[in-house]
Amino acid sequence: MLKLNKYNLLIAALFFNIHISCYGFDLQDAWNAAYQYNAEYSAATHEKNAGLEAKKQGVAVLLPQLSANAVYQEQPQSMSNDAQSHGWNIQLQQPLFDVAKWQQYKQGKNKSKIAEIRFNQIDSQLKLDIGKAYFQVLQAQDNLTAIAAAKKAYTEQLAQVKAMFEVGAATQVDIDEVQSGFDSAVAKEVKSLSELNMARNFLHNATGLNPDDIEPLKNKQLFNFSLLPTEEEWQQIALKNNAELLLAQLKLESANTSLSEMRANRLPVLSLSGGYQDMRYKNESNNQAYRYGKRGYLVSVNLSIPLFAGGQINSKVKEAYELSMQAQDLLTATNRKIALEVKQHYLSIHSGKSEIAAQEKLLQSTQSKLQSTQMGYEVGLRTNLDVVQAQQAYLEAQQQLANAKYHYLISYLELLNTAGVLDDKQKMFSIR
């Protein structure tokens, strides 16, 4: 077990982001809101509850079956006689040896487990989708903030260049260069606004929350790049918790149970029957009436041995066998698929850490270069084009750093989802 330690600092920070406003919402709040608002999640809850009943239904086939019946019968009056009968009975049946019913019981348990795991899978996917939208909103907002600052700088620079142009200290080329930088920032702003609106719309549709109230990330532990579990450890976590893999295993178990059930149809069935009846009969014939009754218990043991069913049993056994082999192959394919996804997400996280470090250095470099270029322009050592290019490089570095950070967080969510621990907070902090 990997206990909550340096391996889990990022998880702890990610899911317990400190509030800075009593009106805003963080990622955990968005998830909680989705549980109350999202109709698909509500539908999945009802589907799970329905599936859990399969276990009870499986138990029911092994328990005694008790029924009560009432009878009233009157024969149409003829010229010779008139007959009536009425009464009631109670019947009980109990299987003594029925392998097929035992397999039905096991199948019911499997169906309930499948329903529960499918629900966990839907829960985890919902969290992943909301998490992506949450970070995409923040990413677009950060980009727009950087673009707004760049537009302001270009606007000020454009006013300065135009003033210099009026006195002959600048050319039209200088004006066009600054205008080009401003137009480039506007184009990036349009793209970021589109991305922001799409993420906001999804987040609102899934949670019912107002995206304007989203909390910015303030917890510094989010990017505390302590060592994470190794890839091999993540693979082991996924083997035990990935919902898709668990479903494939249960489907194989269910297919094997179905095969056993079909084979059981070749075996004898032994059952116990019992009952009590109280019947009354009346028969009038030739002006004479006969009345009599039957009352008492009846107990019997029934043995049924299948001899020939037209080849149906053999055909169903072969069908179940092929489905079992199919489930085995699908399990193998799922194992390989999950292993590949874990590897890819793990590598994405580690490359993301390196990318963030590189982008932070690049941002510092471009900022220093911008400042130096502006000073050089003021003393005549740099051209206006140099300043515009330095501003564009600084804006690009800001955006790339923001993109790298949020891509890292989304990759971590995807790894948690693939490992099967995103749907359970307890598992996230005590990874088994």
SS3 state at 208: coil
Domain CATH number, residue 24: 1.20.1600.10
Cβ(413)–Cβ(352) below 8 Å: no
Q: What is the pTM of this model?
A: 0.80
**Position 86 in a domain:** no
**Position 306 in a domain:** no
**Position 288 in a domain:** no
User: How many separate domains does the chain show?
Assistant: 1
Displacement of CA 396 from its chain's centroid (Å)? 35
Residues in the chain where the model's pLDDT stays below 50: 1-7, 9-10, 16-22, 225, 227, 426-432
Strand partners, 168: none
**Position 75 in a domain:** no
**Position 35 in a domain:** yes
Query: What confidence tens digit (pLDDT) does each residue in 15-47 have?
Result: 544 444 446 888 889 999 999 999 999 999 999
Displacement of CA 213 from its chain's centroid (Å)? 25
Distances (CA, A) of 279 to 75, 80, 83, 335: 16, 23, 14, 64
**Position 221 in a domain:** yes
SS3 state at 403: helix
**Position 289 in a domain:** no
Cβ(230)–Cβ(2) below 8 Å: no
pLDDT at 425: 53
**Position 302 in a domain:** no
Residue 187 domain boundaries: 6-69+98-268+311-429
pLDDT at 287: 65
Give the contacts of 46 (CB within 8 A, at least 6 positions apart). Answer: none
CA-CA-CA-CA dihedral for 394, 399, 401, 403, to nearest 10: -170
Torsion 382-388-389-391 (CA) sign: positive
Q: Alpha-carbon distance 270 to 265, whole Å?
A: 12
pLDDT at 315: 94
